[in-house]
A and B are shown apart, each in its own frame.
Chain A
Amino acid sequence: MQAFLKTGKTTVSDKTQASTSGAGGPSAERRKPPAPWVEKYRPKSVDDVVEQSEVVAVLRKCVEGADLPNMLLYGPPGTGKTSTILAAARQIFGDIYRERILELNASDERGIAVVRTKIKNFAQLTASSTRPDGRSCPPFKIIILDEADSMTHAAQAALRRTMEKESRSTRFCLVCNYVSRIIEPITSRCTKFRFKALGDEQIIVRLRHICEIESVNIDENAYKSIVEISGGDMRRAITTLQSCYRLKGASNTISTEDLLEMSGIIPENYLIEFLEVCQAGNYSKLEEFVRQIGYEAYSIGQMLEQFNEHVLRCPSLTNKQKALICDKLGECSFRLQDGGSEYLQIMDLGCAIILALK
């Protein structure tokens, strides 16, 4: 396992940090801290990739033919985009894959200057068709640009010429969440693969597998809540599991409550109570309730997010009421994100709901 970490991309730690709640295995070089599970349980081959069957089918063909097109992988976070391309690279290059890959993500400097120097330099290196040990190996390198949608358009534009010029010896693989933020000339030069959000079952299977290997004590129901918290994001699911395991220690059983507590999800009963308080139409009760939430340190931002779902699903509200509430909800969420005060926003929302329900 250690070998894997060492041979891994140079940005392993950044990567994990970027997506998880602190998997923090950056001091790997010096000591032996446990590897973050996200890295540890990355799929090793294309076939291990969960769910994305069409993509996998295409890639398998590519791997067999030992060639890759320029690729653009897009889809929601935690659906295995980076894992897939890394696994493919491992299969193609075997143990020298580290030398054949340049990975840059959003936390690296990726302005136009980097595109002009670092990427170009790497692209211009020639890759031999044999490995040091004499076996044959495909004569190209892969440049992986993670979170490509955060690159500036200027940098993307600078990239497209390089992509064409070095196409003989270099494959580009862009990974992003939103394909719309990639400029047209780039998308047209790449084969596009769309990654779907993972199904609940798939995630649970994977989590169970990890729990068995790591001998985590976990409540059977807790799996479901992890899936709910993660919302189809495998990386988030695994990190949630690991953070929880860290907090509870090996001896304790992880329960649904622990998971909710850790992820900052607000228990359902608060949402129900909020609506009930508003239905009662009593301002001072509302004030009291909001204070209570404040004391409990729940994030109002999170609350609004969950409340939106709750309102939509709530059977007792008429469509008009829902519309009125959601209108205000949107406004309040925006102001909150933009720096507004929590107390005022939720009170404003509460008042609007009281009036809407009258």
Chain B
Amino acid sequence: MALWVDKHRPRELSKLDYHKVQAENLRNLCQQGDFPHLMFYGPSGAGKKTRIMCLLRELYGAGVERLRNETMTFTTPSNRKVEVMTVGSNYHLEVNPSDAGIYDRVVVIDLIKQVAQTHQIDASGQREFKVIVLSEVDELTKDAQHALRRTMEKYVATCRIILSVNSTSRVIPAIRSRCLGIRVAAPNEEEITSVLQLTCKREGLTLPAELAARIVDKSEHNLRRALLMLEACKVQQYPFTGQQDIVELDWQVYLRETANQIVTEQTPAKLEKIRDRLYELLAQGVPPDMIFRGLVEQLVRNCDMSIKAKTLEYATLYEHRMQNGSKHIFHLEAFVAQFMNIYKKFISESMMMDDF
């Protein structure tokens, strides 16, 4: 019951739908004897993972597609067991170390050690190194990133590391400079449209141009989201109509409602209700920085420039604190309180103006 996103994912560099020149470059890279550490960067849903898998296939052949899931267990210095899901083949291993939370450092070190200390078994393989794919490296703690940097150097003889990050700003320079950066820009609207049409063709469906355009519009240039939306539309209603509802992500809807509530009432009691909603979002696993961004985007809608600027000023202040703190809710709440305060003043001032 594979999702379309996985089912129609291109498997070879030559079959990629966009960024063709880059694909050609990656092929060139594989043809050379040595292979650097790589860092793929680009927004979510731009196709980083797809490109990494294609690259691995180019390196090792079809063997990399025989995937198996494994749960690796790591022991922290405080003797706590951390379990991390991994996906891998004979040639590579894919991990998301940020899933280990604050124990990411242990995972990074132990994992690379374990993999790097065993040489490539398959002697016939043309590569003498294994590849470790680490995703969301920008979410790693600084500690873990420094550990990663050292292990990268230490085990460079037996393994290469491919990093996948959303933004390079959060990756420490030492890692950035050790990797060859591959920029994966989000597909533009035409590219997404063509991929959607292609997918529908493969599934034997017809997609009205209007619906396609609306999905593209809602997808925020995120191809994965666009495909998931398309599939959700399909199970909801087929044949497609141009006007049919597009299912939105429930957390985005929820966040928008939250923002609307903030704008309607600015009291401590309301703030408390907002807190519960924020807790709910956090409990669902929505990253707090995305909550921040979503709130800001919604909140600044109805105010004038000076309020906008102030809102952003507070948002950056508290978001930054949040990154350095441990309780996300404290900072989210402080931001909402600040916004309520300035917005309340803004409203009462504009009311006074109206009175005159």
Which residues does A use to contact B, with CB under 8 Å? 13-14, 17-27, 29-34, 36, 107, 243, 246-249, 261-264, 281, 283, 287, 291, 294-302, 332, 335-345, 347-348, 351-352, 354-355
B181 touching A34, Cβ below 8 Å: no
12 additional A-B pairs beyond A246-B28, A339-B320, beta carbons within 8 Å, are A19-B177, A20-B177, A107-B154, A246-B32, A281-B305, A294-B43, A296-B183, A299-B41, A302-B168, A344-B315, A347-B312, A351-B305
A243 touching B36, Cβ below 8 Å: yes
Q: Cα distance A262–B181 when bound, in Å? A: 7
Known interface pairs A25-B34, A34-B34; A283-B308 also in contact (CB < 8 Å): yes
Q: Which residues of A contact B167 (CB under 8 A)?
A: 299-300, 342
B324 touching A17, Cβ below 8 Å: no
Which residues does B use to contact A, with CB under 8 Å? 25-26, 28-29, 31-38, 41-43, 46, 128-129, 142, 150, 152-154, 156-157, 160, 167-170, 177-181, 183-186, 188, 220-221, 289, 292-293, 296-297, 300, 305-306, 308-309, 312-313, 315-316, 319-320, 323-324
Q: Cα distance A183–B37 when bound, in Å? A: 35
Q: Cα distance A36–B156 when bound, in Å? A: 14
| Nearest 9 A/B pairs, CB to CB | A22-B36, A339-B323, A301-B169, A297-B42, A351-B309, A33-B33, A295-B186, A249-B28, A33-B34
Shortest CB-to-CB span from A215 to chain B, Å, is 15
B309 touching A354, Cβ below 8 Å: yes
A348 touching B28, Cβ below 8 Å: no
Q: Cα distance A324–B86 when bound, in Å? A: 48
A14 touching B289, Cβ below 8 Å: no
Closest to A335 in B: B320
**Choice from A281, A296, A339 contacting B185 with Cβ under 8 Å:** A296
Of A14, A33, A342, A344, chain B has the most CB atoms within 10 Å of the CB of A344
A24 touching B300, Cβ below 8 Å: no
Q: Which residues of A contact B323 (CB under 8 A)?
A: 338-340
**Choice from A14, A26, A344, A355 contacting B319 with Cβ under 8 Å:** A344
At the interface, is chain B mostly helix, strand, loop or mixed? helix
A24 touching B186, Cβ below 8 Å: no
Known interface pairs A344-B296, A348-B315; A261-B320 also in contact (CB < 8 Å): no
**Choice from A22, A262, A348 contacting B37 with Cβ under 8 Å:** A22
Shortest CB-to-CB span from A35 to chain B, Å, is 9
A-B contact pairs, 25 of them (CB 8 A): A17-B152, A17-B156, A17-B178, A22-B178, A23-B36, A25-B34, A27-B34, A243-B36, A246-B28, A297-B183, A297-B185, A299-B41, A302-B169, A338-B324, A339-B170, A339-B320, A339-B324, A340-B320, A344-B312, A344-B315, A344-B316, A348-B316, A351-B309, A355-B305, A355-B309
Closest to A23 in B: B36
Shortest CB-to-CB span from B345 to chain A, Å, is 18
Q: Which residues of A contact B297 (CB under 8 A)?
A: 287
**Choice from A14, A31, A287, A302 contacting B33 with Cβ under 8 Å:** A31
Of B152, B220, B316, chain A has the most CB atoms within 10 Å of the CB of B316
Q: Cα distance A348–B344 when bound, in Å? A: 21
Q: Which residues of B contact A27 (CB under 8 A)?
A: 34, 128-129, 157
Known interface pairs A14-B153, A17-B153, A24-B37; A340-B29 also in contact (CB < 8 Å): no
B305 touching A297, Cβ below 8 Å: no
B153 touching A24, Cβ below 8 Å: no
Q: Cα distance A340–B26 when bound, in Å? A: 32
A26 touching B156, Cβ below 8 Å: yes
B186 touching A296, Cβ below 8 Å: yes
B168 touching A107, Cβ below 8 Å: no
Q: Which residues of B contact A348 (CB under 8 A)?
A: 309, 312-313, 315-316
Q: Cα distance A24–B128 when bound, in Å? A: 13
Shortest CB-to-CB span from B194 to chain A, Å, is 17
Of B31, B36, B150, B315, chain A has the most CB atoms within 10 Å of the CB of B36
Q: Which residues of B contact A339 (CB under 8 A)?
A: 142, 170, 320, 323-324
B41 touching A31, Cβ below 8 Å: no
Q: Which residues of B contact A107 (CB under 8 A)?
A: 150, 153-154
Known interface pairs A22-B38, A22-B180, A296-B186; A340-B316 also in contact (CB < 8 Å): yes
